[in-house]
Amino acid sequence: MFNLPRLLLHSVAMAGNTGAPLLLRLVAASVSVAEKAGTIVRNVFDSGELGVVEKDGKNDLQTQADRSAQECIVQSLSRQFPKVTIIGEEEPTDETVDESHLVTGLSEEVLKAVCPQDLQSVKDEDVVVWVDPLDGTKEYTQGFLDHVTVLIGVAVKGKAVAGVINQPYYNYKAGPGATLGRTMWGIVGLGAFGVERLVPPADKWIVTTTRSHSNKLVTDSIEAMQPDEVLRVGGAGHKVLLVIEGKAHAYVFATPGCKKWDTCAPEAILHALGGRLTDIHGNALQYHKDVKHPNTGGVLATYSDHDWYLSRMPESVKEAVKP
Ligand code: AMP
Ligand code: MG
Ligand code: MG
């Protein structure tokens, strides 16, 4: 009779593996898929055949890497999670699916994590996955490769709760000995892995913003912050990473243009590490499936002093950039 409880315990542990909560399985699949998408992004670049298409002028581009990485992510996830809503940046193509792009693996590291209590019984219909297969396309075509990220964000009931980011060219300037690329993931209430929070310099005020989508609203708002230095770089994912890793104090983008797939994954990882991402009025961003895609209220991401940045935002900018 002493064997019975041990047997029961064993079977619970097995079920814990295969029957992990939906959210953990989704993040575990997204980690594997994001790694594959990152490989696709590198392979397309190496092939030299970028296949650039202008979606909406020369600052809104799509390449073969955007198309193939999106196929990899959306097809792989939708086959494993057919009832979950998945919204990707790129229009689906009519071409037949390249089966070599599909991934079925689940990250063991994620499956081993303990799902936060409030997310343990999330249902398929509560979830929207926001996919930016390649964030920083303009920079990718220009060879600013470390600006590029693959973003998979998971929203539950309209709130960004989990994110996976692959940075395909992390370390690419570090020489042949360094491991190229990295993947990080996070869940709000649990923490983030594969990336570490670093504190920015105390003697210098650094703000990061867009490099290829600037306008007067962007420059007026940055000027009002009076930073010592402005890092104008590509990609929403990349800029949130600069804030997380202490290279910048804040990411300020006071204009529409950035979309829900740009912010969902970075926001979740930043929040999981204790930071904040809102629009420029301080409103939380919404991620339910019927929400409009553009972040018309702009983006502000910080670790600390979020309210100070909000208070410095000029009235004229706030008038022009409404949620
Ligand atoms: P950036 O900081 O310029 O790299 O922009 C961050 C994300 O928002 C990228 O995915 C951009 O493509 C997108 N984005 C920002 N502004 C615009 C715009 N005016 N038109 C199209 N996409 C934009
Ligand atoms: Mg993007
Ligand atoms: Mg993109």
Write out pLDDT tens, residues 31-73. Answer: 999 999 999 999 999 999 999 999 999 889 999 999 999 999 9
Q: What is the mean pLDDT of residues 196-225?
A: 97
Q: What is the mean pLDDT of residues 220-234?
A: 98
Rounded to 5 degrees, what are φ and ψ at 274?
95, 5
Cβ distance 292 to 255 under 8 Å? no
Cβ distance 207 to 231 under 8 Å? yes
pLDDT score of 19 more than 80: yes
Query: CB 91: neighbour CB atoms within 10 A?
Result: 10
**pLDDT of res. 95:** 79
pLDDT score of 7 more than 80: no
Which residues have C-beta within 8 Å of that of residue 210, sequence separation ≥ 6? 218, 232, 234, 253, 257
| Closest CA to ligand 1's atom 17 | 257
Rounded Cα distance, 103 and 128, in Å: 20
The response to whether residue 272 sits with its C-beta less than 6 Å from ligand 1 reads no
Report residue 72 as tokens: 């990899």
The response to whether residue 60 sits with its C-beta less than 6 Å from ligand 1 reads yes
The β-bridge relationship of strands 191-193 and 182-187 is: antiparallel
CA angle 280, 284, 287 (to 5 degrees): 120
Q: What is the mean pLDDT of residues 299-315?
A: 98
Q: What is the mean pLDDT of residues 213-242?
A: 98
How far, in Å, is the centroid of ligand 2 from the Cα of 134? 6
pLDDT score of 134 more than 70: yes
Rounded Cα distance, 312 and 282, in Å: 12
Rounded Cα distance, 137 and 147, in Å: 9
| 66 alpha carbon, closest ligand | 3
| Site of tokens 């939380």 | 284
pLDDT score of 11 more than 60: no
The response to whether residue 266 sits with its C-beta less than 6 Å from ligand 1 reads no
DSSP code of residue 294: B
pLDDT score of 211 more than 80: yes
Closest CA to 127 of 288, 18, 290, 265: 288
Among the atoms of ligand 1, which is closest to the Cα of residue 139? 4
Rounded Cα distance, 239 and 131, in Å: 17
Rounded Cα distance, 286 and 288, in Å: 6
| 138 alpha carbon, closest ligand | 1
Rounded Cα distance, 21 and 115, in Å: 7
How far, in Å, is the centroid of ligand 1 from the Cα of 176? 31
Confidence of residue 18 (pLDDT cuts 50, 70, 90): low
**pLDDT of res. 92:** 82
The response to whether residue 213 sits with its C-beta less than 6 Å from ligand 1 reads yes
